[in-house]
Amino acid sequence: MALSHTSARVQAAGPVTVLGLESSCDDSAAAIVRLSPDGGVEVLAERVENQNTAHAPFGGVVPEIAARSHAERMDHLAKAVLEEAGLALADMDAIAATSGPGLIGGVMAALMTAKGLALGAGKPLIAVNHLEGHALSPRLVEPLAFPWLLLLVSGGHTQLLSVDGVGQMTRIGSTIDDAAGEAFDKSAKVLGLGFPGGPQLEKLAGKANDPSRFPLPRMLARDKSCNFSFAGLKTAVKRSFDTLDAPTETDRADLAASAQAAIAAHLAERTGRAMDIFAEHNPDARVLVAAGGVAANTAVRNALEKLAEEKGFRCLFPPLKYCTDNAAMIALAGAERLRLGLTDPLDTPARARWPLDETAASADPLIGSGRKGPKA
Ligand code: KG4
Ligand code: ZN
């Protein structure tokens, strides 16, 4: 049978209801979202299952374990959210799934499940870029008008984007090596903390006596772009740790606080520069949205809030459950795309790398590779 896709037969005037699936890293998730023509969003059901215990012994996400675990959970999760919402597949206007970027084996789990459901139920498929999901996530809580400046800081990504519309994002800056979450996780590992290290490092830093005790380098000090770099930080944290003889809890806490402050300062410095660029193009739209797991960090939040106040920006943090990986943002991105008539064929491939701003990505070959796919 030739692969084809059902064209969207949705009345632009009415609400659209979309089932979204997510499996690009180490969270398996499903959600059902209803989008009204006025931009109102209702999350009718949502589930997220993380795999932290499966990956913890290895100190990081193991792609093969992640892929198998996603494949085992996806159809159960889809069924569970339909039941929770009291709806049937036939009630969906489309099935959306993350189709990249991410760990390819994982991405395939949600995408294949979505293709099967779309084909079986005769519904359109919508292939969502995971980063677009994060970019649109503030709309899960309020009908925020385009454009806004997005700082996406997670374990897989660190970038600054001007979010101008659905499918319209301009990259202003990106990491040239590690993501901010990796900087937290790697520093945490040096300090002997478990995985994921970010939240544990934050907790330890809270016990610091002198948070400025360890002088850590200012990353990309002479670079005037909005790009980020975190690879040197881990080495510096390790070097500082190695100077300690039988480190006490306070020594470790001081070093954790120093690392956290260095990461927060680097994020704020680059974001400040991006705010100036964004404001130049959009003088009336001064909104900064911070999303991704690292946006949960209080030191990072405080630094961004202070910066936003200085620059006259409103600073918005989506609720934590929508900051980290979730399927509600994928369902919403799917609903927004469906409203514009943007559906995808059933032979749409899973993509390990899929920059949101292809022009910027191909113009800058420094950026675009990484352990978890494109951090760019
Ligand atoms: O967005 P996320 O849940 O998953 C992806 O990577 O896509 O982000 C996870 C990352 C991890 O590196 C984790 O250590 C970091 O976010 N993280 C934190 C905090 N909570 C999560 N880093 C610092 N402080 C936190 N409170
Ligand atoms: Zn993510």
Distance 101 CA to ligand 1 centre (A): 17
**What does the buried/exposed string (b/e) look like for 60-94 if buried means 16 or more CB atoms within 10 Å of the residue's CB?**
bbbbebbbbbbbebbbebbebbbeebebebeebbb
Distance 292 CA to ligand 1 centre (A): 7
Instruction: Specify the pLDDT at position 202.
Output: 98
CA-nearest residue, atom 16 of ligand 1: 293
pLDDT in tens, 235-280: 999 999 999 999 999 999 999 999 999 999 999 999 999 999 999 9
Instruction: Specify the pLDDT at position 44.
Output: 98
Query: What domains can be seen in the chain, in order of their start residue?
Result: 5-141+325-363 (3.30.420.40), 148-317 (3.30.420.40)
Token representation of residue 83? 């039941």
Q: Could you give the angle at which helices 180-190 and 249-281 cross, rounded to 10 degrees?
A: 170
Instruction: Specify the pLDDT at position 366.
Output: 54
Distance 360 CA to ligand 1 centre (A): 25
* Per-residue CA distances from 329 to 85, 98, 200, 207, 267 (Å): 17, 10, 26, 35, 24
Listed residue (301, 353, 274, 261) closest to 153, CA to CA: 301
With vertex at residue 100, the alpha carbon angle to CA 159 and CA 59, rounded to the nearest 5 degrees, is: 70
Q: Is 315 in the pocket of ligand 1 (CB under 6 A)?
A: no
Instruction: Specify the pLDDT at position 196.
Output: 80
Instruction: Specify the pLDDT at position 70.
Output: 86
Average pLDDT by consecutive 10-residue portion of the chain (376 residues)? 43 85 92 95 96 78 83 94 98 97 91 98 97 94 96 92 95 95 95 91 97 92 94 95 96 98 97 97 95 94 98 95 94 97 97 84 58 41
Predicted TM-score of the model (pTM): 0.89
